[in-house]
Each structure stands twice: as C-alpha cells, then as structure tokens.
C-alpha cells in the first residue's frame, strides 16, 4: 500500500483512520446507507473529492490561484451532455465526450497558462476570473448548443437507468439496478483519478511543482522552465476536472450553467481545499466530504434541533434550517482557527513535532 501511494501516507494516525473510514463508507455506501438521497450524496462526495483534489494540484502544490476551475468542470459536463441530448449513441457519447472534454479542457488551460502565467499572481487570478465569467455568458447565451439557462436534459444508456436489473432479486436489501451501476462507475473512476493524482504529485514532476511553489526564482535558477511546468500542471488539473464534470452530468442526467459553472461551486472548491489542508490531496478529500454532507444533511439536522428546542427561548430561531449557511460558516471559522493548516495539514504538523 505504501508503494502504491508513492510513499505518500496521510501522515497522522487520526488522518489515516478518517481516510480509511471514508474509503470504506464510499465503497459500501449503497449497502450501508440505502436510499436515493444518501446515494446522491455519496456520488457527489466522490465527484467533488476529485474536483477539489485537482484544484489542490494548482493551489496547494504549484501555488496557482485560479478562478476558472469550474469552467473545465463544465467543459467535461457539456462534452457529454451535448451529444447525448442530440441523440448520439449512449456509451459512444459518454466515452468520446469524456475523452474529448478532457482534451479540450487541457488545451484551453494550457493556452490560458501560456498567455497569462508570466504576469504577477494576482493579475493571473483576475484573468482566470474574467475567462470563467465569459464562459458563463457563452453557456447562458448559446442556446442551440448548451440549452442556455435551461440547460440540457438527456437519457443515459439503458444499463444506467433505474429500470435496468443486473440481478432479479435484491442482495443484502439492495437492488442491483442501473442506479447502483451508475454509482459504482462514478466511484471507480474517481478512485482511479485520485490514485493518478497521488502518483503525479509524488513523482519528480510533482517535486518540481512544490519547488516552484516555495521559491519560483530558485527553481528557475536551477534550470527548470517554471512556466512550462506550471502550464503542464494546469492542463493536468483541467483534464481531471473535466472528467469529474462528465461524471456529474451522468449523475444528474442534466447539465446547465448552475449545475457545473456557477461561482458558488468555485467557492465550495476553495472551502474544501482550505478546510482539508492545501498541498496534501488527502485534505481536499475530507474537505469535500464535510461540505457535501453539510449541504445535504445540515438543514434537516437543524430542523430536528429546532423542533427539539421548540419550548425554549431563542434556540428554535438559532437552529432554524434557513440559517444552515451561518452554521457552516461557523464551522469553517472554527476549523481555520484551531487547524490553520487544514485538517490533514495540521495533523501532519503535529505528527512532525
């Protein structure tokens, strides 16, 4: 296992336990947490782990602050959604769209990087924000292709539909239908992508990225073309984000500007990376889990707390489900205050001490 993960261990027993528990929970989610809502939450956790970890390659390992990562996420989603909505054969559209979306995203990211990475970091961030805003306008206005604000709805291959039965009888109370196949398709692809990212950041290429993050001028003086390395890192992260977008389109059976291209998703990605710990890959996995679970279950938990304290003063209003963002913000502040390097980053620092 140590060699499989390129000698990149979680770095602390608590982090290792949390990550192992997360892996087992996602691997057996349909059996441990049956139900449509829990399956949707587990699928989103898988997808956002990959999306946040791919952004960590830029932010945590290379020191690139980009606001265009959701654009690549959307490119992958549209690359699958557009041919499926036009009636292209299901699996052909999914496979070709995923590969094509990843290639297009990598090329766009490389072009942006080559044209912009020579400027100061803050100006590069502003350029990526402008490009992402332009992409949002194009997606909303190009109705013939993207469906505009309404987005695109499409059908998946029959084997991924809820009416498909792999086994005639349930096993351990779970039906082996198309939804289960869809979940394990998402889980398997996300697990493979996460392993690939671990191999990337722990390769000699990844060491150069970390050197660039720590001191770009020194890395340049040692003979490394920093712009080339940062461009390749941007292209890799964009391609992985595009594959995650394709998986999101498959999960939703729909794609539109709000589902993959909104700035709220970009904020969520930033929160996931910061909460989990930048420059760890494992950290964004935990951060993505925290954010997605909060989005799905924090409001019902607050509703239950509000009902339980209905006869007490102030508390019912404080626990009102509409205030879930307040509680999520409070959780974020507490994590940043007590774990300034994120969950995994702070645990690694304590282990080193």
Are 285 and 55 in contact by the 8 Å Cβ rule? The answer is no
165/156 Cα distance (integer angstroms):
15
82/38 Cα distance (integer angstroms):
28
Alpha helices (H) along 202-225: 204-214, 216-221
Are 259 and 151 in contact by the 8 Å Cβ rule? The answer is yes
98: helix, coil or strand? helix
Are 74 and 261 in contact by the 8 Å Cβ rule? The answer is yes
Helices 36-56/13-27 angle, 10° precision: 130
Residues 6+ apart with CB under 8 A from 249: 76, 77, 78, 80, 81, 84, 255, 260
β-bridge pairing 152-153 and 254-255: antiparallel
Residue 203 host element (H or E): none
Rg of the chain's alpha carbons, rounded to an integer?
Answer: 21
pLDDT of residue 341: 86
Task: Domains for the chain: give ranges and CATH numbers.
Answer: 13-352 (1.10.3470)
Each residue's pLDDT tens digit in the chain (353 positions)? Answer: 555 556 677 778 888 999 999 999 999 999 888 888 999 999 999 999 999 999 999 999 998 889 999 999 999 999 999 999 988 888 999 999 999 999 999 999 999 988 886 766 778 888 899 999 999 999 999 888 898 899 999 989 888 887 777 776 776 677 788 889 999 999 999 999 999 999 999 999 999 999 988 888 888 888 888 889 999 999 999 999 999 999 999 999 999 999 999 999 999 999 999 999 998 999 999 999 999 999 999 889 988 888 888 888 888 888 888 888 888 888 888 888 888 888 998 888 887 76
Residue 242 Cα distances to 28, 212, 215, 317, angstroms: 26, 25, 29, 41
**Is the model's pTM score more than 0.75?**
yes
pLDDT of residue 99: 96
């Amino acid at each position: 296992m140590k060699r499989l993960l390129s000698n990149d261990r979680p770095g602390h027993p608590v982090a290792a336990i949390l990550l192992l528990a997360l892996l087992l929970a996602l691997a057996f989610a349909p059996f441990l947490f049956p139900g449509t809502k829990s399956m949707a939450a587990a699928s989103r956790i898988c997808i956002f782990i990959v999306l946040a970890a791919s952004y960590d390659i830029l932010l945590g390992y290379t020191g690139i602050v980009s606001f265009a990562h959701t654009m690549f996420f959307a490119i992958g989603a549209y690359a699958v959604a557009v041919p499926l909505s036009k009636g292209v054969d299901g699996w052909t559209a999914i496979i070709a769209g995923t590969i094509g979306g990843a290639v297009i995203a990598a090329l766009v990211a490389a072009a942006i990087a080559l044209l912009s990475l020579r400027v100061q970091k803050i100006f590069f961030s502003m350029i990526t924000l402008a490009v992402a805003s332009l992409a949002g306008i194009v997606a909303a206005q190009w109705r013939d292709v993207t469906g505009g604000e309404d987005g695109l709805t499409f059908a998946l291959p029959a084997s991924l539909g809820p009416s498909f039965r792999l086994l005639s009888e349930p096993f351990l109370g779970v039906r082996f239908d198309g939804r289960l196949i869809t979940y394990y398709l998402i889980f398997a692809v996300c697990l493979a992508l996460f392993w690939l990212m671990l191999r990337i950041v722990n390769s000699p290429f990844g060491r150069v990225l970390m050197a660039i993050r720590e001191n770009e001028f020194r890395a340049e003086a040692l003979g490394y073309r920093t712009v080339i390395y940062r461009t390749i890192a941007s292209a890799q992260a964009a391609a992985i984000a595009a594959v995650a977008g394709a998986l999101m389109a498959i999960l939703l059976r729909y794609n539109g500007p709000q589902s993959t291209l909104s700035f709220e998703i970009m904020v969520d990605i930033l929160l996931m990376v910061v909460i989990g710990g930048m420059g760890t890959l494992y950290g964004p996995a935990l951060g993505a889990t925290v954010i997605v679970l909060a989005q799905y279950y924090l409001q019902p938990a607050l509703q239950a707390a509000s009902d339980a304290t209905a006869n007490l003063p102030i508390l019912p209003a404080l626990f009102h489900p509409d205030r879930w963002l307040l509680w999520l913000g409070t959780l974020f502040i507490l994590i940043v205050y007590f774990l300034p390097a994120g969950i995994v980053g702070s645990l690694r620092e304590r282990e080193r001490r």
